[in-house]
Amino acid sequence: MKWALPGAMIATPELIDLARVADDCGYDAIAMPDSVFYPEHISAGYPYSADGKRMWAPDTPMPDPFIAMTALAAVTERLRFYTNVLKLPLRDPLLTAKQLSTMAVMSGNRVAVGVGLSWIPEEFTFTHTDMRTRGARTDEAIDILRMVCAGRGPEWVEYHGKHYDFDRLMISPAPDRPVPVYGGGHSEPALRRAARRTDGWISVNATLADLTAAITRLHELRTEYGRADLPFEIDASPTDVTDIDGYRRLADLGVTRIRVAPWRMYDADPTDPAARLDAVRRFADAAM
């Protein structure tokens, strides 16, 4: 089992020390969230809360994930970094591929990208992108990322889709190993996208029951698409599993990496950076 820490809602300068301690303690990765901005008013409810309200304040730190991952890779030796999840349809896929390929080369192949759609209409309006076509555009953008970051170094590529179209071009630098692309989300289209197009799946914070249902469906879909024998990461964030037996049940389901927030498990003072780091060390000793 591999273990990851979430980088969400942590004061940005504290991420440096968190990464260094995680690197020393044997964690596999840090997952960085993506939030381009916080609209004061939104026309859709947050899908992961009972009342539809956002659970974080407008000034909650949400650094650009690619910049944060680059900075954290520079102060660590083996720790990996991935997005959880990048709102891909808000971005141009070629520019994103350029950033991702550069990060992969400069970090020594220690980055991956988890992708999602975004649920906030205002994010699409204010970035002049189309929410209606977000799913289809994400599918094409995943194809472009995987093509540019295929792990064969710089090479000529071209793409001719419904939403993105370009003739032969080369992006350099490009990695000598494929950059993993993971799909996020629990909806049927999201599970199908992950099973059909990506190297793995990233859950939201979810109960063991919800994770079991989603992972069972993923296994069915991967069989349907003829991909059951290919390597596939399952990255889970369980809300009701905090003991070794529970982690073993997740492993039996096929989970390959668990995201944990030890500072919440041990009720560390969220305003005390030292207490957060102590909790990270304590969990490594007690569970990992």
Which two three-digit tokens encode residue 259? 């995201």
The whole-number pLDDT of residue 1 equals: 95
Residue type, 204: V
Q: What CATH number does the domain located at 2-194+244-249+258-286 have?
A: 3.20.20.30
Distances (CA, A) of 152 to 78, 91, 135, 172, 242: 22, 24, 28, 11, 40
The whole-number pLDDT of residue 237 equals: 98
Map tokens 């901005």 to a residue. Answer: 37
The whole-number pLDDT of residue 184 equals: 97
Q: Where are the domains of the chain?
A: 2-194+244-249+258-286, 195-243+250-255
Predicted confidence pLDDT, tens digits, the chain (288 residues): 999 999 999 999 999 999 999 999 999 999 999 999 999 999 999 998 889 999 999 999 999 999 999 999 999 999 999 999 999 999 999 999 999 999 999 999 999 999 999 999 999 999 999 999 999 999 999 999 999 999 999 999 999 999 999 999 999 999 999 999 999 999 999 999 999 999 999 999 999 999 999 999 999 999 999 999 999 999 999 999 999 999 999 999 999 999 999 999 999 998 899 999 999 999 999 999
Q: What is the pTM of this model?
A: 0.97
